[in-house]
Amino acid sequence: MSRHYLTLDNDNQFQFACPIFNVTTKMSLCMKLRELVWMGKRPEVRTGCQACMSASKCPAAAIVSKISYGRDVPDEYGSKTPVVGKLRRDILERIHRPMVLEKTLNDFKVPDAERELIASASERIGKMIGAAPLPSTDGPPSRSAFDTETAAPKQPRKAKPKADNSNKVNEAARTGDLAAAINAA
Domain count, the chain: 1
Q: Is the pLDDT of residue 19 over 60?
A: yes
Express each pLDDT in 100-112 by its tens digit.
Answer: 999 999 999 999 9
Look at residue 145 and tell me if it is in a domain: no
Q: Is 173 a member of any domain?
A: no
Of the listed ranges 22-26, 101-105, 118-122, 165-169, the least confidently predicted one is 165-169
Residue 143 belongs to some domain of the structure: no
- The pLDDT-based confidence of 168 (bands split at 50, 70, 90) is low
Residue 134 domain-assigned (yes or no): no
Please indicate, yes or no, if residue 166 is contained in any of the structural domains. Answer: no
What is the span of the domain harbouring residue 57?
A: 6-129
163 falls within a domain: no
Q: What long-range pairs does 48-51 form, CB within 8 A, spacing at least 24?
A: 48/20, 48/21, 48/108, 48/110, 48/111, 48/114, 48/115, 48/117, 48/118, 49/20, 49/21, 50/108, 51/100, 51/104, 51/105, 51/107, 51/108, 51/110, 51/118
Tens of pLDDT, residue by residue over 134-166, are 876 544 444 444 444 444 444 555 555 555 555
